[in-house]
A and B are shown apart, each in its own frame.
Chain A
């Protein structure tokens, strides 16, 4: 285990271990562990350990306390045999928002699984917002993507996952391969939502009950949502044009919005509207778009 690198906002460059990429068949074994804490009224990236090509940019603060951080994936995407672990913990009243500057690409491989495992832990009185840009699963990829959100009682979370199968913009359809995505939320160890989608070749893409011919699927999640707030989220997207399909539901206090669309942007546009409608009440502040979204 690499030693924990204390890191303050002003502090030094990240220490990156020597490249661990050995051969194509062996793939990257990358880890990134981020710990957020509140210090002197400001949420800071208090610890970081890193091994391999996963890294973050310097945090910045466009809205006071909240720490905005950009996560960078290995340059050139994820290939068969790669194993990427991302662990994020928000503790001690920290408020953090993580996004990525671009899409994550999972390339065609010969059947050697590419794995990405993301564990997002939020402790009491802390919050995490998780808005990575879309995952693109190339035709022929074999990928397993797990996102587990582990919450304590008063931990607040909002986030999304947007998955695109094939590259619709390039007219490349997802015809073969396997993508197994899991999205799990627990509170105090109890499962609140276990969502899993297995795409094997193009069966599910064609199925009218599954992806129904839409290549992109987004899921948005928010905690601490009341039935009144659910109505607000539904109102926020009423009358929006377009051929996407959206459904918003409330599971106990967890709002889940699902959206099928032709393009990732079509989905993120809808999910951002929901985020904007919910953020003032769930997080106690108005939506502040990360600068990178505008580029």
Chain B
């Protein structure tokens, strides 16, 4: 039992907003969506985040998450990098790609300092995706694949809600209400994404991509581009 408790604690460490990778600095199109009036309240936020989960993460991030996890398990760095490049190519804008690479590189450096050997070979690459490193850590720390995927989605959602609280703005309690409403969806989405085959991987959100591209030149912004 202590082993499973420890791996749960490791998952909390990996998913925590205090993980020093800088995720808090990015809004993923949310700032632009709020600025343009698409998200004005917690109701609209709930719709936006549900669609991001159902129409994007489920079809891109999660299926590739599983494949990366298995590739690390098999210690096959070639396959790891192939999926990393496929995930990278799915990022629709320079902003989304830069964010992913910043986070990926920051986590590679952190894992290197935490003595994850595999990260030593990666910590100088500037084309890493965050999930590539997240799945490496999950493997090394014996976190179950499905639990790790649930934790990853939670950390994404928590970060988006933290951004919305600052931007909409929303009260802390309203933010927690949205989180509470959406949490029950996560296990199902993770479960469904395990069924997606290689040929079916891929999805984009045109309006989110347009807003993210507009955010690259947005005059005054709180979040990084």
Binding site for B on A (CB under 8 A): 182, 190-198, 203-204, 207-212, 217, 234, 245-251, 256, 258-260
Q: Is B195 an interface residue (CB 8 A)?
A: no
Binding site for A on B (CB under 8 A): 29, 33, 38-39, 44, 47-48, 51-52, 55-56, 59, 85-86, 88-95, 97, 202-214, 216-217
- Say yes or no: A195 contacts B204, CB within 8 Å: yes
Within the complex, the shortest CB–CB distance from B93 to chain A, in Å, comes to 4
Given A195-B92, A249-B216, decide whether A211 and B207 contact each other with a Cβ distance below 8 A: yes
Q: State A248–B85 Cα separation when bound (angstroms).
A: 22
- Say yes or no: A256 contacts B208, CB within 8 Å: no
Q: Which of B89, B208, B216, B217 contacts A209 (CB 8 A)?
A: B208
- Say yes or no: B52 contacts A209, CB within 8 Å: yes
Given A208-B47, A249-B216, decide whether A260 and B92 contact each other with a Cβ distance below 8 A: no
- Say yes or no: B48 contacts A258, CB within 8 Å: no
Q: Which of A196, A198, A247, A251 contacts B214 (CB 8 A)?
A: A247
Can you sample 21 A-B contacts with CB below 8 Å?
A194-B89, A195-B90, A196-B203, A198-B202, A207-B51, A207-B205, A208-B33, A208-B44, A208-B51, A209-B48, A209-B51, A209-B56, A210-B51, A212-B38, A212-B206, A247-B209, A247-B214, A249-B209, A251-B91, A251-B93, A258-B92
- Say yes or no: B217 contacts A234, CB within 8 Å: yes
Given A194-B90, A210-B51, decide whether A246 and B210 contact each other with a Cβ distance below 8 A: yes
Which B residue's beta carbon lies closest to that of A207?
A: B51
Q: State A251–B203 Cα separation when bound (angstroms).
A: 17
* Contact residues in A for B88 (Cβ distance below 8 Å): 191
Given A208-B48, A209-B208, A260-B210, decide whether A249 and B95 contact each other with a Cβ distance below 8 A: yes
Q: State A250–B97 Cα separation when bound (angstroms).
A: 10
Main secondary structure of the interface of A (DSSP, over half): strand
Main secondary structure of the interface of B (DSSP, over half): helix
* Contact residues in B for A249 (Cβ distance below 8 Å): 92-95, 209, 212-213, 216
Within the complex, the shortest CB–CB distance from B89 to chain A, in Å, comes to 4
Q: Which of A182, A197, A203 contacts B206 (CB 8 A)?
A: A197
* Contact residues in A for B212 (Cβ distance below 8 Å): 247, 249
- Say yes or no: A190 contacts B203, CB within 8 Å: no
Within the complex, the shortest CB–CB distance from A191 to chain B, in Å, comes to 4
Q: State A128–B82 Cα separation when bound (angstroms).
A: 28
Within the complex, the shortest CB–CB distance from B188 to chain A, in Å, comes to 16
Q: Which of B89, B208, B217 contacts A191 (CB 8 A)?
A: B89
- Say yes or no: A245 contacts B210, CB within 8 Å: yes
- Say yes or no: B208 contacts A194, CB within 8 Å: no
* Contact residues in B for A258 (Cβ distance below 8 Å): 92, 206, 209-210, 213
Given A208-B47, A209-B48, A247-B212, decide whether A198 and B203 contact each other with a Cβ distance below 8 A: yes
Q: State A182–B60 Cα separation when bound (angstroms).
A: 14
Q: State A193–B205 Cα separation when bound (angstroms).
A: 14
Given A191-B85, A208-B51, A209-B52, decide whether A197 and B204 contact each other with a Cβ distance below 8 A: yes
- Say yes or no: B59 contacts A198, CB within 8 Å: yes
Within the complex, the shortest CB–CB distance from A262 to chain B, in Å, comes to 14
Q: State A293–B213 Cα separation when bound (angstroms).
A: 29
Within the complex, the shortest CB–CB distance from A199 to chain B, in Å, comes to 10
* Contact residues in B for A194 (Cβ distance below 8 Å): 86, 89-90, 202
Q: State A208–B39 Cα separation when bound (angstroms).
A: 9
Q: Which of B44, B95, B206 contacts A211 (CB 8 A)?
A: B206
